Amino acid sequence: MSDVFRSIPTRDRTALRPSKQPSWTEPMLATLTEERFSDPAWIFEPKYDGVRCLVFRTPADVRLLSRNQKALNDHYPELEEALELQSSDRFVVDGEIVAFEGKRTSFARLQRRMQIADRERARASGVKVFLYLFDIVHADGYDLTGLPLRTRKKALRSAVAFRDPLRYSPHRNEGGESYLRQACARGWEGVIAKRADAPYRHARSTDWLKFKCVNEQEFVIGGYTDPKGSRHGFGALLIGYHRDGELRFAGKVGTGFDDATLERLGRRLARIERERPPFATGRLPRHAVHWVEPALVAQVAFTEWTRDGQLRHPRFRGLRDDKPARDVVREQAR
């Protein structure tokens, strides 16, 4: 019996199912909520400002895949190497790749690695990355998704030897509200509340809830404005989200860009220009505007939504290539 199965209480082993290790599995996703609570039936984990990553380890290889099944090995070769050194060689685990700015995870800093798909350039970038693992869904020929979350976490600690750059995601067993206050004071993204006895579901679920410190989500880029003054690249991005099969305009974001992003993103946008706006609704700007194919996804922070469905005080956080543009919708609290 492997260490993974020794960690599983006898009462929970009936939930194990023999199965071939999958080459892909949909990740479990959290639901945004405005609720704040403390409950011993839930655990509370940090909400990282990074990129979701599923790891598929076999005796033959290690594959790091994003939410949209993009291979990440060449972006983060040191993570691949750390996983190759594990004594366990058959597992699927779930986690988040992060980079730090001081003591906080920083999506902006991680951007410098996300844009590099060359192993040597990635190593030379100067951006150190870590993989925080928080769940395990398959091991040694068994599907673990039916196990309670607390049991899966014990199995995860048995399956992986945690040494940098691999880290176990810590959690609290109670005090969700106080933990969120601490998270916000420290500049974190927020907290993820997870029902402790819940199985792993390959979909968005209310068994995992997001407590956010700031409003932030993905938006589709549908156009851009000309730069003004000494600015180069572009002025602002025109962004939106999908609803009822249409791309709806959510406003424009003109802050949060450094010079390198303005140049690099400006070149990408110029290559995908189109004549007509991709947005079906909204009061669109008409002057000094360039429309683009709605293929790129931006992470945007903002203070609130206005009554007419526009963002107030939006700020660009970075590009996301781990979520298809067609899947971007307005995130609303349950």
- Phi and psi, residue 40, nearest 5°: -65, -10
What is the rounded CA–CA span in Å between residue 107 and residue 48? Answer: 9
Q: Which helix (H) or strand (E) element contains residue 267? A: helix 259-271
Residue with tokens 């899947």: 327
Measured between alpha carbons, how far is 268 from 261 in angstroms, rounded to an integer?
10
Q: 70 catalytic, yes or no?
A: no
Strand duo 29-32 + 204-212: pairing: parallel
* Alpha carbon 197 to chain centroid, angstroms: 23
What are the contacts of 239-245 at 24+ separation with CB within 8 A?
239/298, 239/300, 239/311, 239/314, 240/278, 240/279, 240/282, 240/294, 241/328, 241/329, 241/330, 242/326, 242/327, 242/328, 242/329, 243/329, 243/330
* Residue of 20, 47, 128, 154 marked active site: 47
Lookup: tokens for 271: 């290559």
**Distance between start and end Cα atoms, the chain:** 43
Residues with catalytic roles: 47
